[in-house]
Amino acid sequence: MGKILVTAYLLFSSIIAFADKPDTVVINNNQSTLLTNRYFYELEDTNANLTINNVLNKEFYVIKNTLPTFKYTKSTTWLKFNIKNDSTAPFITISIAASVIDEFDLYYIDNTTTNIRHLVPDNAHNDQVTQNIMFINCPVLPGTSNTIYLRIKSSAPNVIPIKVYGTYAFLKSRNIENITTGVIIGVFIVMALYNLLLFFIVGDRSYIYYVCYILFFGLSQVLKRGYGGNLFTTDKTILNNYIIPLVRVLFGYSILLFISEFLQLKQNLKRWYKYYLLLYAIYSILLVAVLCGMVVTAYNLITISTCITSVSLLIIGAHLYFGNGFKPAKFFMLGWGIFLISILISVASNRGFIPYNNLTTEIVVYSSVLELILFSAALAEKINFYRFQKNESQNFALAVAKENERLITQQNILLENKVRERTNELIATNKNLSVSIDNLMSTQKQLIDNEKMASLGQLTAGVAHEINNPINFVSSNIAPLRLDFDELFVLLNKYDDALNNPEQSSLLSILNNYKQKIDINFIKEEITILLNGIEEGANRTAEIVNSLRAFSSTDEQILKTTDINKSILNNLLILRSTIPYYIEIKPVFDKLEPLHCYPGKINQLIINLINNSIYAIKAREHHSDESVMIITKDYADHISIEITDTGIGMSDETKQRIFEPFFTTKSIGEGTGLGLSIVFGIIEKHRGNIEVISSPGNGATFIVTLPKNLA
């Protein structure tokens, strides 16, 4: 009984094997055959590490799909089939679409030598007519047959359309393909140029986004047909792993931008528009996958994002047309619906869900041409829509204008009477206003003079303090200096007594005793020290007087040449007594040429800015590392003075108003609000500029720019 079952199993297996045995591909001169599962066995090489010697010992199997297909994890596939040459040519052409195929080569056993032959695509060094397709001319003598082993490698999930041609059939097929591709490219170029022209005429951004959409869509179709080597690079890895998916990402972005602008989604979707932005996020994730080299993931995401985007845009178009009555969405919905169906058919064909044939292969191209026509009609409809809106708005504006004209006529009569009344009132008011303006100008001049006097009073107190120190230094040295001179005079008198009375030896003894008592060397040193101190006090007093002389000319109207660095130092000398001990003054001066300016005005400007910085620092509750940095810089046509403090800073609102007259942040009685207004007037008089950089709690920087060519 067991032997009978074994025999029956072997017999059944033989029948199944015989039934599944593929046919031989027979090719004549004008024939081409698509390599389906009727003709080949398949061997999956997931790790891509099998060689032809390994493959010869492996068991191939028959697949259920009509065409060989790369699944989501498969990287390399081996196909085994028999081929018979019934043509007159000594070889048969085996071709595969070049798009997204990384490697394609062929092995066969030479019938004459029994050696294994390896062939690679012939078009690697061929003319441009056949560079868009990978093909191999396999030597098979007429009337003979051979077993062929094909190795195909790709990282993208897709079907593998392989065709076997006779010589004449291959050349004819290539010519038709090139003509078809040329026509398609021509259509895309014409549509792009036409809409680009409309963009320059109409100015609607929809057209420029539509041009981008056409260009990237056309480019993706050209790459799909295998023309990437002509446009970008012959390196299949770079082309398939980066350029092709990157173009599809850009194509997706162009679709989203065009639809958003064309359908006015920001206005029509309103609160739902943020969900539309998620489509951008999907393509951004896809872009990251491409740039990170995640090829399989990228191609899978391309399929997913294409389906999601297509369905989402169709729903949006239907909502705008049926829900909001947005007429331009009608042609868009029709064109996009056709395009969506073609994409779904193409994706299903590429995944092996429906038969792969010429119609399913080219359906996206055919539908895209129809879609371009419908989209162009949609854009034209949008222009009509805008024209209708414009006409309505013009008619409404005309009606409003007529009504306004009527009302204006009535109002003019009333206004003329009121104008007469108001004119008489204004004449009387102008008289009073002139008096008020004169009073105001007088008051303003008085306030400015008061500001000057206040600054002068502050400076006077400081100068008195500064002069008092060196004067005290001089006066304190006079008393000990007089004592030293008195002792020297006494010593000289004793010398005279000793010289005049040589016979009295006691006088010499008294002289020597007194000399030792007063310590003549100490007196010499003390006199020198006291005289140096008096000289230093006198010099400091002279410096203060010179600084006051420079500051005293605040009302001069004559341009003079002034050393800006020296002016700053003089003003610092005057202000030294008003600067608290915890504030460090840090001058950093560039080498400046003498500047033509109004020296007194510049001194007043420097005094006011430094005083403001000191006040801002004093206003802080706690003091630590406080400083005022004064920097001068020399440029080709101007100089700059930068005064930076560590004070309390100011807000943007305060910065906008600090140069307004009478505006102040100081307490009542501490300032008139005219200091920075005067500074601004001085800078305008010098045709310069001032910039303020500050924020609350971070101090302030005043940058004054003065031209060199004021003369």
Q: Are residues 589 and 691 in the same domain?
A: yes
Give the pLDDT mean for 182-207: 81
Q: Are residues 194 and 139 in the same domain?
A: no
Q: Can you list the alpha helix ranges (DSSP code H) found in 327-357?
A: 329-350
Question: Does residue 9 belong to any structural domain of this protein?
Answer: no
Of all residues in the chain, what percent carry a pLDDT higher than 70? 79
Q: Read off the pLDDT band of 701 (50, 70, 90).
A: very high
Q: Are residues 126 and 99 in the same domain?
A: yes
pLDDT of 467: 63
The CATH number linked to 46 is 2.60.40.2380
Of all residues in the chain, what percent carry a pLDDT higher than 90? 8
Question: Does residue 506 belong to any structural domain of this protein?
Answer: yes
Report the first-to-last Cα separation within the chain, whole angstroms: 126
Q: Read off the pLDDT band of 688 (50, 70, 90).
A: very high
Q: Evaluate if residue 548 carries a pLDDT over 70.
A: no
Question: Does residue 633 belong to any structural domain of this protein?
Answer: yes
The CATH number linked to 676 is 3.30.565.10
Q: Are residues 98 and 200 in the same domain?
A: no
Question: Does residue 397 belong to any structural domain of this protein?
Answer: no
Q: Are residues 514 and 475 in the same domain?
A: yes
Q: Evaluate if residue 18 carries a pLDDT over 90.
A: no
Per residue in 339-390, pLDDT tens? 777 777 776 776 567 776 667 767 777 777 777 777 776 676 666 666 666 6
pLDDT of 124: 43
pLDDT of 461: 53
Q: Are residues 131 and 50 in the same domain?
A: yes
pLDDT of 460: 57
Per residue in 443-478, pLDDT tens? 655 555 555 555 555 555 555 555 665 666 566 667
Question: Does residue 409 belong to any structural domain of this protein?
Answer: no
> How many structural domains are present in the chain?
4
pLDDT of 469: 59
pLDDT of 358: 67
Residues 94 and 148: beta-carbon distance below 8 Å: yes
Indicate the SS3 state at residue 646. Answer: coil
How far apart CA 352 and CA 433 sit, in angstroms, is 92
Q: Of the ranges 398-402, 524-528, 562-566, which one carries the lowest mean pLDDT score?
A: 524-528
DSSP 409-455: HHHHHHHHHHHHHHHHHHHHHHHHHHHHHHHHHHHHHHHHHHHHHHH
Q: Read off the pLDDT band of 645 (50, 70, 90).
A: very high
Quickly tell me which residue has 């304190």 as its tokens: 476
Q: Are residues 260 and 355 in the same domain?
A: yes
Q: Are residues 644 and 573 in the same domain?
A: yes
Q: Are residues 241 and 365 in the same domain?
A: yes
Question: Does residue 4 belong to any structural domain of this protein?
Answer: no
Give the pLDDT mean for 46-58: 84
Average pLDDT, the chain: 77
Q: Of the ranges 111-115, 300-304, 357-361, 546-550, which one carries the lowest mean pLDDT score?
A: 546-550
pLDDT of 630: 94
Question: Does residue 398 belong to any structural domain of this protein?
Answer: no
Q: Note down the domain range covering 646.
A: 555-707
The residues, ordered by sequence, that sit 6+ positions from 526 with a Cβ below 8 Å of its Cβ are: 480, 484
Q: Of the ranges 33-47, 113-127, 181-195, 530-544, which one carries the lowest mean pLDDT score?
A: 530-544
Q: Are residues 544 and 586 in the same domain?
A: no
Question: Does residue 191 belong to any structural domain of this protein?
Answer: yes
* Structure tokens, 491: 């010593």
Q: Are residues 522 and 641 in the same domain?
A: no
Single out the residue in 165, 190, 216 at which a domain terminates: 165
pLDDT of 403: 77
Q: What ranges make up the beta strands (E) of 460-582?
A: 560-562
Q: Read off the pLDDT band of 628 (50, 70, 90).
A: very high
Q: Evaluate if residue 140 carries a pLDDT over 70.
A: yes
Give the pLDDT mean for 159-163: 82
The residues, ordered by sequence, that sit 6+ positions from 189 with a Cβ below 8 Å of its Cβ are: 218
Indicate the SS3 state at residue 262. Answer: helix
* Structure tokens, 109: 């056993």
Single out the residue in 482, 517, 549 at which a domain terminates: 549
Q: What ranges make up the beta strands (E) of 539-603?
A: 560-562, 583-589, 595-597
What sign does the CA torsion over 563, 564, 565, 571 have? positive
Q: Evaluate if residue 27 carries a pLDDT over 50.
A: yes
Q: Are residues 577 and 475 in the same domain?
A: no
pLDDT of 442: 63
Single out the residue in 501, 534, 549 at which a domain terminates: 549
Per residue in 270-297, pLDDT tens? 777 888 888 888 888 888 888 888 877 8
Give the pLDDT mean for 532-547: 63
pLDDT of 127: 43
Q: Read off the pLDDT band of 638 (50, 70, 90).
A: very high
